Amino acid sequence: MVEAFIGLGSNLGDGQANLLAAWQRLGQEPGVMLTALSHPYRTAPVGMVTSHWFTNAVGSIRTELSADKLLGVLLAIEIELGRNRAQGRDRAVDMDLLLYDAMVSDESYCTLPHPELARRLFVLAPLAELAPALVHPRLGRTVRELCDAAERSGQLVERHEWRDRGALCLR
């Protein structure tokens, strides 16, 4: 089994409920074991124009699935939970494969680590909760170092508590 980190985001509806539904659904997938989920973070939209703020979190899993297969599962869960890519950039659920062990890949279907990981505080802050000493496989810098740099750039995130901790369902 390998360790993978999943970014979760939502800016439509109840963000916390949407993220927990996606997390729970991922845990039902054969070959996936949920291991940890960060706090939820509220953030202003980055790189898009919308009035809807995001709720973001990062989860860690252990999996037997290949990176490509895991990415396919994430995309299927997004659709199952209401993501409509044709509708625009707002989304009920967004799930990104951030890291898959120390794998580096430039395949068009599966770029690893996620190409925006090192620049986005809304991903780095929750990832730093789970794995601050983890080294970015391309940059050779720890998640904590990348998070500190993103904080200095002026990006802001607000850490929140889960309303329903019982729903986290780690197994």
Number of domains observed in the structure of the chain:
1
pLDDT tens for the chain, residues 1 to 171: 999 999 999 999 999 999 999 999 999 999 999 999 999 999 888 777 777 889 999 999 999 999 999 999 999 999 999 887 766 678 899 999 999 999 999 998 899 999 999 999 999 999 999 999 999 999 999 999 999 999 998 888 999 999 976 666 554
Sign of CA dihedral 84, 87, 88, 89: negative
Domain that holds residue 15: 2-168
CATH of the domain at 12: 3.30.70.560
| 8 Å CB contact between 73 and 65 | yes
Q: How many H-runs (helices) and E-runs (strands) does the chain carry?
A: 4, 8
- This prediction has a pTM of 0.94
**Cα separation, 9 vs 4, whole angstroms:** 17
